[in-house]
Amino acid sequence: MTSSTKTARRASALGPGLAALCALLALVAFLSVTQGSRSIGLSEVLHALGSLDNDGSINSTVTLELRVPRTLLGILVGAALGVAGAILQGVTRNPLADAGIMGINSGAAAFVVFAITVLGVRGVGVYVWFAFVGAIGATVLVYAIASLGREGATPVKLALAGVAVTAGLGSVTSGIVMTNVDALNELRFWQVGSLAGRYTPILVGVAPFLLVALAASLVFGRALNGLALGEDVARGLGQRVRLTRVAAFGVVAVLAGAATAACGPIVFVGLVVPHMARFICGPDYRWILPYSMLLAPIVLLLADVLGRLVSGPDELQVGVVLGVLGAPTFIGLVRYARLSEV
């Protein structure tokens, strides 16, 4: 059987899989809009969505002003974190790479603390932009440190630089919040990772960044396949390795930075979901990226819905739910999915 025949057969199998994931995402989004401490019927949801006008009823207010923005943000943030994790794992050839160990989360947290303690900023809707700048700044810093030396930003140096920047910024942040009660109180609500309380202004603010970066990310499939074969092979195939890395890190900075700024550091999505996608569709990043883009919001929204239902009328934040469920899932992937094959 020729290589082209195998590729065609794989595409014929994986294409319908993407369609099935789209349908599953729609179903999960429906659950996200209708389920919670207050259950809203399908007819009421359709009425609210059809009119797009808040008639003043509780159900209409909850649907249009709380759950729809929350669900849309969950879809965008989940897709961003899943794709960012897949790109990072491909660029660094590190199966444990995600926004958490590449300095992005710690950079966002450090700038949030700076905004609170130095500038007196209060409220998620305001310091989300400081978190965005901090996340991008940390990503640039990691790449700049890893680029020092004749070999440039090798996978090992990127991982080490990410760990170093994460540890350094994390220590500074911890030192500040331990001596500033106001900073601690503000930061702890953002740092847990949550879709709750993120309303339309935040969605509208980050959506353009996420949509553009998600569209741009899909062009990296072939380049990541080349990097997976090794830098020398990639160069032999005519690929400009350094340019690919810079462009990939730029896209990751926007994706993970905007997602982290909007919802706080959400764990495990960027780490686990790319391995789930790889387990389904193999090592081809032309499929891993779109599969991660759909699987990640499904996982994130399911965790968010579960957090609303298990402790009603209160709710567990999605970052807590993912932390509880993500650890055994990741252990299972380590055991059965051969994570070394990135």
- State pLDDT tens for residues 274-285: 988 988 888 889
Categorize the per-residue pLDDT at 296 as very low, low, confident or very high, splitting at 50, 70 and 90.
Answer: very high
CB 320 within 8 A of CB 265: no
Average pLDDT, the chain: 82
- Cα–Cα distance, 134 to 108 (Å, whole number): 4
Mean pLDDT of 289-310: 93
Say if residue 5's pLDDT is above 60: no
Q: At residue 51, does pLDDT exceed 80? A: no
Split at pLDDT 50, 70, 90, the class of 67 is confident
Q: What is the mean pLDDT of residues 174-190?
A: 75
The CB-side HSE value for 332 (13 A sphere, CA atoms) comes to 9
- 118-134 per-position pLDDT tens digit: 787 776 667 778 888 88
Q: Tokens 């901090």 — which residue?
A: 134
Residue 286 has pLDDT above 60, yes or no: yes
Residues whose CB falls within 8 Å of the CB of residue 176, separated by 6 or more in sequence, listed in order? 113, 117, 183
Using the 8-state DSSP alphabet, how is residue 237 labeled?
Answer: T
- pLDDT for 189-213, tens place per residue? 777 788 887 778 888 888 999 999 9
- Structure token pair of residue 18: 């993407």
Which string of DSSP letters, residue by residue, matches 181-209? Answer: HHHHHHHHHHHT--STT--HHHHHHHHHH
Contacts of 306 (CB under 8 A, 6+ apart): 316, 321
* pLDDT at res. 157: 85
In contact, 127 and 115? CB cutoff 8 Å: yes
pTM recorded for the entire structure: 0.87
The domain ranges of the chain are 3-336
Overall average pLDDT of the 216-242 stretch: 84
At 292, phi and psi to the nearest 5? -65, -35
What's the pLDDT at 3?
52
Q: How far apart are CA 292 and CA 224, in angstroms?
A: 14
> For the residues of 130-146, what is the DSSP string, one character each?
HHHHHHHHHHHHHHHHH
Give the residue with greater pLDDT, 32 vs 3. 32
Buried b (16+ CB within 10 A) or exposed e, 290-311: bbbbbbbbbbbbbbbbbbbeee
Superfamily for domain range 3-336: ABC transporter involved in vitamin B12 uptake, BtuC (1.10.3470.10)
